[in-house]
Amino acid sequence: MSATSDPGFRHFISGVWGRPEDGASIALSDPATGAARAPLPCSNAQDVAAAVAAAATSGWEDSDRADRLALLQSVTALIRSRAEEFVAAISAEIGAPVDFARKQQVGTALDHLQSMLAAARAAEDDAPVAPDLPQHRVRYDPMGVAALVTPWNWPLNQVVLKVGAALLAGCPMVLKPSELGSRTAMMFAECMQGAGVPRGVFNLVLGGADTGAALVAAPAVRVVSFTGSTAAGRAIATAAAPQFKRTVLELGGKSANILFADCDLPVAIRQGVAHCMRNAGQSCNAASRMLVAREIYDDALALAAAAAEALPVAAPDRPGDHFGPLVSAGQWDRVQRLIRSGIDDGARLIAGGPGRPEGMAQGYYARPTVFAEVAPHMTLFREEVFGPVLTMTPFDSEEEAVALANDSAFGLAGYVQTGDPVCADRVARALAVGMVQVNGCSRAPGAPFGGVKQSGLGREAGLWGIRAFQDIKSISGAARV
Ligand code: NAD
């Protein structure tokens, strides 16, 4: 244990809160000021082994469907009753403005829990292959111990998507949240405990990549659900492969937003800039590459630059619809490096740029930034920034727009703005991504979430998220009794 680490940090193993004791710790700081915070003590290899053993012997695989539903319902009610505490924790931990944390971060998590519960209630875990074939059945059985590894950018939502789905699927689990989102995860664990989760069904270990890697490698783990960077996802898939553990991977993105000439331009720009910049640009599905029909390109540049320059920047604890800091010094450095790469590669800076916004001398604030004439060979067109940086690229035809959108190693989300529903459908089908949103339509909470190519494997949310933790068994010759 580090002598200076925060005594408030605790892991939760086999129903008992305890302090990680191995001496490793991770430095933490306040995103709004940059001031050092007490470091995070890390769970060690023995802690991880104990957590996995507790899960493996919990017997949750044999639980009744009604008990699974009742438990998650109680957890949801507790989160709802502590919503303001979660808002404060998320805002302090990652620098999210409080109103955004309330409406989006906590609101989305609760919506996902509700839609998961509804999906589980409506689904059968043992049903005939066809109505006239009662002796030919399909069963969805829990896979066994689940390792859940989450990032910091939506620290409650990403936890509930995994824990809720694993619980409903019948899998006991060990959660390793991001080192930058551990307080939010501890509050979530308190809700699990408060709801009466049986001993060992849910375990929480704390730490960074080393703790996560130890968890993924544990022999009793059967399924790994990971959300985070493509680089870490690759390491996890590689580590899981020798034992053929299933991996569900929700990874990075560089999503295109295609604006056709017949779109409602002011609305499309307002929504497009806001979507790219929300959560200070730290969302995997951020609409970060705007592709614009050449006829409207100049107007689009002017509107986008004005929208970015007009974004108010303020401290996370201030109410209102504004823009907060990035999560960490590392993230700030990364964003600065990528902004400089845009300038060096010859893209035209039309809003923002390197450095801090005016009046923000400390903390990890970056300037909402827009680049024009961003070409496919440039780093900014290809690499995920995970910060408030929008790129704009003109196109001359629908074919070229789709080709530019698909010219990416990633394939998470795609956005289309057009007044022509036939074009919208054609382009939505042509995009090589996991999710498409047309004319600013929000995603339904129960819709499958995930990507293709280097954006990952598998889906979260709704019934898709639950099935990700189950094996499929076909039984022929025996009706259900
Ligand atoms: P990260 O990959 O650095 O870390 C994510 C989590 O993995 C953390 O808990 C970390 O400690 C752990 N980890 C890192 N290396 C590991 C390893 N080798 N083995 C086991 N665990 C390991 O990502 P981040 O900085 O926390 O989050 C940002 C990234 O997450 C972005 O790339 C973003 O696009 C992605 N993301 C994707 C989605 C999605 O649903 N597709 C959602 C949110 C964020």
Confidence at residue 445, expressed as pLDDT on a 0 to 100 scale:
86
Average confidence (pLDDT) over 263-270: 98
Fill in the amino acid letter for 343: I
Is 423 assigned a catalytic role?
no
* pLDDT bucket at 58, cuts 50 / 70 / 90: very high
First to last CA, the chain: 54
Residues facing 392 on adjacent strands: 290
Q: Which of 206-215, 309-318, 386-395, 451-460 has the lowest mean pLDDT?
A: 309-318
Question: Active site residue: 179, 190, 284, 384, which one?
Answer: 284
Question: Active site residue: 250, 276, 384, 460, which one?
Answer: 250
Whole-model pTM?
Answer: 0.96
User: How far is residue 282's CA from residue 154's CA, in Å, rounded to a whole number?
Assistant: 9
- List the residue whose alpha carbon is closest to atom 8 of ligand 1: 178
- List the residue whose alpha carbon is closest to atom 23 of ligand 1: 228
Confidence at residue 260, expressed as pLDDT on a 0 to 100 scale:
98
Confidence at residue 1, expressed as pLDDT on a 0 to 100 scale:
35
190 lines ligand 1 (CB under 6 A): no
- List the residue whose alpha carbon is closest to atom 9 of ligand 1: 178
For residue 386, pLDDT over 90 is answered with yes
For residue 4, pLDDT over 60 is answered with no
- List the residue whose alpha carbon is closest to atom 30 of ligand 1: 228
* Best probe residue, ligand 1, of 251, 433, 453 (max atoms within 8 Å of C-beta): 251
108 lines ligand 1 (CB under 6 A): no
Average confidence (pLDDT) over 268-293: 96
42 lines ligand 1 (CB under 6 A): no
181 lines ligand 1 (CB under 6 A): no
* Best probe residue, ligand 1, of 26, 174, 221, 229 (max atoms within 8 Å of C-beta): 229
CATH (residue range 11-251+456-476): 3.40.605.10
Confidence at residue 3, expressed as pLDDT on a 0 to 100 scale:
39
User: How far is residue 28's CA from residue 328's CA, in Å, rounded to a whole number?
Assistant: 8
386 lines ligand 1 (CB under 6 A): yes
458 lines ligand 1 (CB under 6 A): no
Q: CA separation (Å) from 171 to 176, 264, 448, 475, 481?
A: 16, 47, 20, 21, 23
Q: What's the 153 CA to ligand 1 centre distance in angstroms? A: 9
Phi then psi dihedrals of residue 83, to 5 deg? -55, -45
* pLDDT bucket at 2, cuts 50 / 70 / 90: very low
Domain boundaries, the chain: 11-251+456-476, 256-444
288 lines ligand 1 (CB under 6 A): no
Confidence at residue 192, expressed as pLDDT on a 0 to 100 scale:
98
Average confidence (pLDDT) over 415-442: 97
144 lines ligand 1 (CB under 6 A): no
User: How far is residue 127's CA from residue 139's CA, in Å, rounded to a whole number?
Assistant: 7
281 lines ligand 1 (CB under 6 A): no
Instruction: Decide which of 146 and 7 is more confident.
Output: 146
- List the residue whose alpha carbon is closest to atom 13 of ligand 1: 209
Average confidence (pLDDT) over 145-155: 97
Confidence at residue 481, expressed as pLDDT on a 0 to 100 scale:
86
Q: What's the 181 CA to ligand 1 centre distance in angstroms? A: 11
Other CB atoms within 10 Å distance of the CB of residue 284 = 27
Coil/strand/helix, residue 304? helix
For residue 29, pLDDT over 80 is answered with yes
Q: Considering the chain, what is the average pLDDT of its residues?
A: 96
251 lines ligand 1 (CB under 6 A): yes
Instruction: Decide which of 5 and 393 is more confident.
Output: 393
Is 61 assigned a catalytic role?
no
What is the distance of C-alpha 47 from the center of its chain? 26
* pLDDT bucket at 6, cuts 50 / 70 / 90: low
Q: What's the 149 CA to ligand 1 centre distance in angstroms? A: 8
104 lines ligand 1 (CB under 6 A): no
59-108 residue pLDDT tens: 999 999 999 999 999 999 999 999 999 999 999 999 999 999 999 999 99
Confidence at residue 7, expressed as pLDDT on a 0 to 100 scale:
58
For residue 366, pLDDT over 90 is answered with yes
User: How far is residue 393's CA from residue 382's CA, in Å, rounded to a whole number?
Assistant: 13
User: How far is residue 428's CA from residue 426's CA, in Å, rounded to a whole number?
Assistant: 6
Average confidence (pLDDT) over 367-387: 97
Say whether domain 256-444 belongs to CATH 3.40.309.10. Answer: yes
Q: What percent of the chain has pLDDT over 70?
A: 98
106-144 residue pLDDT tens: 999 999 999 999 999 999 999 999 999 999 999 999 999
* Best probe residue, ligand 1, of 52, 94, 105, 153 (max atoms within 8 Å of C-beta): 153
- Strand ranges inside 32-182, DSSP E: 36-41, 126-128, 136-142, 145-149, 173-176
* Best probe residue, ligand 1, of 11, 104, 284 (max atoms within 8 Å of C-beta): 284
